[in-house]
Structure 1
Amino acid sequence: MKNNRLAIFLLAGLLAAGASAQEWPSRPVRVIVPAPAGSSLDVIARTLADRLRVIWKQPVVIETKAGAGGLIGMDTVAKAPHDGYTLGIGFNGPIAFGPYMYRRMPYAPSRDLVPIVLTTSQPNVLAVQESNPANTLPEFVDWARKQGSKFSYASVGAGSSSHLTMELLRSVTKMEAVHVPYSGSPPAGLSLAAGDTQALFTVAPALLPLIQGHRVKLIAVTSATRSELMKDLPTVAEAGYAGFESLAWNGFFTAAGTPPEVVQRINADVNAVLREPAVRELLANQALVAGGGSPEEFKAFIDSEARKWGAIIAKVGIRLDQ
């Protein structure tokens, strides 16, 4: 009798799990963007939401919650009901870098958030002033070493991918440098163009007006292979630093405890959207590489990124909550 009751209980659980995935979503889904309206992250979220609302037959509401390097937005996701109706499009900073940079975070990414799927990635590019004598990465490294402590570089913010990418390059080239953080790509790019700083790692679209105006030029790209949109630009790896790769990436997350079948449903639908030629073209026009893959693959990628950049953060001694 007990065995029969146990079998019925287990069967009911399996049926309920299947039903929850089939019934989801039965109401609007909100996507938290931990960055300002109009940002690259916001554009990515809206591009995907436009297709997901068709698949889900429900509104997909975008909410921008910028601040504290993405912590505010992702904390909202972490503390939301674990039902899959609140998603967040997280990125390097509040997911992989944060635990190493902050003594205290309002959430623990590995405990409180479930990775669903990698949405996009994008390499950084190394930019210098147009008048800089260096035209290749080896020439740039030689030039920078000769500047000694006079060499300074801009970043789009302390603890950003822009900042950490230069620190990674410094660690493999033994360059001296003074870090000058700015609030975003526009002021960082302008400081480089004006000669206030001598180098900058950031994403290529942010520098397009300065490149077109012949105020800055690109030296290298940080992807493992050359970018389809910048085929003439060598990678840092092929310029002599094997294995060098630095990507600005993002992906969908939801609150820990969300039923696995709901996570798998969201993963499958986002993967389907990311395979659409029109979506891939829209992303490629912004120099973004469409992601995809399973939740397990995304988690393994995050763990790898955290180990890699955690070591750089510890070596440099970056702390943002002092």
Structure 2
Amino acid sequence: MQDSQSPLIPRRDYLKWMGAAGLAATGVSGHAQSAWPNKPIRWIIPFAPGGTSSIVARGIAAQLTKQLGASFVIDNKGGGGGVPAMQELHRAPADGYTIIMSHIGLMAVNPLIYPDSGYDVNKDFVPVTLLSRVPSLFVVHKDVPVTDMKSLIAYVKARPGQLNYASAGNASAGHLAMEALKLATGMFVTHIPYRGTGPALNDVLAGRIQLFSAGTPALLPHIKSGAVRCIAVGTTERIPVLPDVPTVQELGFKDFETVQWYGIHARAGTPPEIITKLQQECAKAVKSPEVVAQNAAESAIPGGGTPAEYAAFVAREQARWKEVVIKGQIRPG
């Protein structure tokens, strides 16, 4: 990957730039951190392109690139429940030039189902900020003869094990949302994991898969086109973009709530000055008109809080989803 710089740099300025880059490579504090970023930042997305995580990342990356003057390069690394993506970050230098889109699966579920991954999510990585919380939607293919959750439950229970649901992969937000719904309703449907929302959605749209759960960014266009039918939302209240679709709670399943969330983690050992700067720039990015409009169009709740706030949020999610992982017998696939 080439650094984006003009070839016509005065020698004195070039030597200053090289000196700053050399200090950053050795992890020296002070001037090294103030020089960050002076080359492109690789942003690992642990899913194939086309899903909610990629959509959220692209919007934020565009703003960060404008604000910081360095490119944020989206690098989709799907498969393996996100473990290979985390392993890549674990191997990268702790210099702030490689980060990852963290989410419920990577941070809250994988520690339970991938104990031999070679890293500890709470020790080997550090939180930067929560970027977005996105409503989970439950949809069926347009040819499935159900119109709401009540008729879906009846339809599935009359055909136990005959229907399938797709997910973006093991421990993805959609996987967890569907397993939570199965536990709440007693439905028996078979999980078919993919390497990201994009590939999974392709098979749902083709009618090869009957049920699916994903976030508003990926699903809204297909709901509006009529290709899939949204029968419920996982939030505690109805969402503005789909005001006529009830929540799962409304349908009699008390305390049910599933949302997708996305943030940024970096390697442990990354200089705190870099973590702070990235968090502050993300806080600006989520308030930009473009991201505000994107969030409004998707009924997403923006983040931008401190690393400590994100760490506390992740800890709560780890405790919350442990029961679903155990009861749903979620295992590596």
Q: Do they fold alike, i.e. is TM over 0.5?
A: yes
| C-alpha contact (below 8 Å) 1:33/1:42 kept by paired residues | no
Task: Show the counterpart of 2:43.
Answer: 32
1:85 correspondence with 2:107: no
Q: CA contact under 8 A between 1:30 and 1:63: conserved in structure 2?
A: no
Which of 264, 267, 277 does residue 279 from structure 2 map onto? 267
Structure 1 residue 100 displacement after superposition: 1.4
Please tell me the residue identity of whatever aligns with 2:90.
A
- Distance change (3 Å), C-alpha of 1:212 and 1:93: same
CA contact (8 A) 1:205 1:287 kept: no
Q: How many residues align?
A: 305
> Are 2:266 and 1:276 equivalent residues in the alignment?
no
Q: Look up the SS of the partner of 2:75 in the other structure.
A: strand
1:140 paired residue number: 152
Pick one of 293, 313, 329 that aligns with 1:317: 329
Q: Equivalent residue for 1:237? A: 249
- Partner residue of 2:315? 303
SS at match of 1:224: coil
Per the normalisation by structure 2, the TM-score is 0.78
Q: CA deviation at 1:140?
A: 2.6
Pick closer, same or farther for the CA change 1:285–1:108 going to 2, 3 Å: same
8 Å contact kept, 1:32–1:73? no
Q: Structure 2 CA distance, aligned partners of 1:53 and 1:25? A: 13
Q: Give the aligned partner of residue 213 of structure 2.
A: 201
Give 1:29 deviation, angstroms: 4.4
Partner in structure 2 of residue 7 of structure 1: none
Alignment of 1:277-292 (within 5 A): 277-285=289-297, 288-292=300-304
- Change in CA separation of 1:267 and 1:142 when aligned onto 2, cut-off 3 Å: same
Percent identity of paired positions between Structure 1 and Structure 2 = 31
Runs in 1 of length 4+ with deviation above 6 angstroms? none
Deviations 1:253-309 (A, max 9, x none): 111122333322211111011111222213444564422211112112212222222
Q: Is the 8 A contact 1:24 1:262 kept in 2?
A: no
Deviation string for 1:168-199 (max 9, x for gaps)? 11212222333333454456456556665543
| Post-superposition CA distance 1:188-246 (Å, at most 9, x none) | 45655666554322234544565455443110011232222212211112222222221
- TM-score, structure 1 length as denominator? 0.81
Q: CA offsets per residue over residues 136-176 of structure 1, 9 Å max, x none?
A: 32333233333344454333433322222111112122223
Q: How does 1:1-322 map to 2 (within 5 A)?
A: 23-34=34-45, 35-37=47-49, 39-185=51-197, 188-189=200-201, 192=204, 197-207=209-219, 211-212=223-224, 214-285=226-297, 288-320=300-332
Given residue 98 of structure 2, which amino acid in structure 1 is its aligned partner?
A: T
- Aligned residues: CA RMSD: 2.9
- Segments of structure 1 that go 5 or more residues without pairing to the other structure are 1-15
CA contact (8 A) 1:44 1:283 kept: no
Take 1:63 and 1:200, find their aligned partners in 2: how far apart are those partners? 25
The one-letter code sitting in structure 1 at the alignment partner of 2:38 is R
Report if aligned partners of 2:147, 2:231 keep a CA contact under 8 Å in 1. yes
Offset at residue 111 of structure 1 (A): 0.9
Gaps spanning 5+ residues in structure 2: where? 1-27
